[in-house]
Amino acid sequence: MSPQLHPTAIVHAKAELADDVSVGPYTVIGEHVRIGLGTRIDSHVVIEGWTEVGERCQIHSFVSLGAPPQHLKYNGEETYVRIGSHNILREYVTVNRATAFGGGVTSVGDHNVLMAYVHIAHDCHVGNHVIMANAATLAGHITIGDHAIVGGLVGIHQFVRVGAHSMIGGCSAVGQDVPPFMRAAGGYRARLFGVNTIGLKRQGFSEDRIRRLKQVYMTLFRSDLRLAEAVKKVRDECGTSEDVQVLLKFLDGTKRGICKGSDEREEE
C-alpha cells in the first residue's frame, strides 16, 4: 500500500515514506526526511532537515520537526532529529535539530506523549514512555530519563538531567538535575519533595523497593550530612540495591548540581 498524500501536501520526491503513512492537507515534508510504517501526519505539519520518524506515530497539526537549532553558532551543518515509534505529538510541538558540536542528534525514544506546545531544543535526548504536558520547555542539551513526567509550563535549564521515573510539578523552573525516582516542584527554583510514590506504584514497584528509596531520600536530602557524606553512608548501607545503584550513579554524574531537598512535605 502506497502512502496516502493529500493533494495539497508538499512532499519532496526524495523523502522516504513507508507504506501506510498518511499525510494531511498543507503539510510540507523535506528532501532528507524518513517516515516509518503507519505514521499519521495531520494538516499543516512541517518536517524538514535530516529528520527520521519511526513507526505508528501520531503527529498532529502545526507540529514542527527538524527546524535548525536556535543557536547562534549553528552554520547549516548536517545534524539530525531522530524520533522513535509509537509517539504522540500534539499540536504545535517543536523538536529542533542538533548542533554539530553538541553531538549532532536530537532524539526522542518510543511510546512518548508530547502534549501541545512542548518544545524540545537542540541536542536534547528524551527517553521512552515519557509524558511532557502542555508547554513544557527543554533548553539545549537536556536528558530526560525513561518514564519521567514533566508537568505543564515547566522550564528546564540547558544541560540539566531528569532521572528515570521522576516527576516535575507544573510551572516549575528547573535549574539543576532531578534524580531518578523523585518528585520536584517550585516556581522559582525547583526543590525535591520526596519519592515519586504514586508513579512508582503505577510502574509496579514493590512496597519494599519504595520504602528503601524513601529511606535513602531522607539520608541524602533531609539529613544534616553533606551530600558527599550522605552518598557514602547510603553506599555503605544500601549499595547492593539496584535502585540505589541507579540513583547513586546519577548523583555521581552531575555537572550542574542536584536539586536541593525541601524542608516541607508535599501531598502525594
Other residues' Cβ atoms within 10 Å of the Cβ of residue 9? 20
- Alpha-carbon distance 83 to 117, whole Å? 17
Catalytic residue among 122, 125, 141, 165: 122
Catalytic residue status for 147 = no
Give the whole-angstrom CA distance, residue 101 versus residue 152. 30
Query: Cα(first)–Cα(last) distance of the chain, in Å?
Result: 49
Burial class (CB in 10 A: 0-12, 13-18, 19+), 18: middle
The CB density around residue 23, as the number of other CB atoms within 10 Å, is 27
Smallest CA-to-CA distance from 103 within 49, 146, 143, 67 is with 143
Q: Tally Cβ neighbours within 10 Å of residue 27.
A: 24
Residue given cell 495539497 in the structure block: 8
Q: Which of 42, 110, 123, 146 is catalytic?
A: 123
242-252 vs 227-238: helix crossing angle, rounded to 10: 160
Q: Using the structure block, give the residue that is written with the C-alpha cell 502534549.
A: 115
Closest CA to 256 of 127, 189, 158: 158
Single out the catalytic residue among 49, 140, 163, 199. 140
Q: Is 122 a catalytic residue?
A: yes
Amino acid at 266: E
Helix, strand, coil tally for the chain in percent (to 5)? 20, 30, 55
Any idea which residues carry the catalytic annotation? 122-123, 140
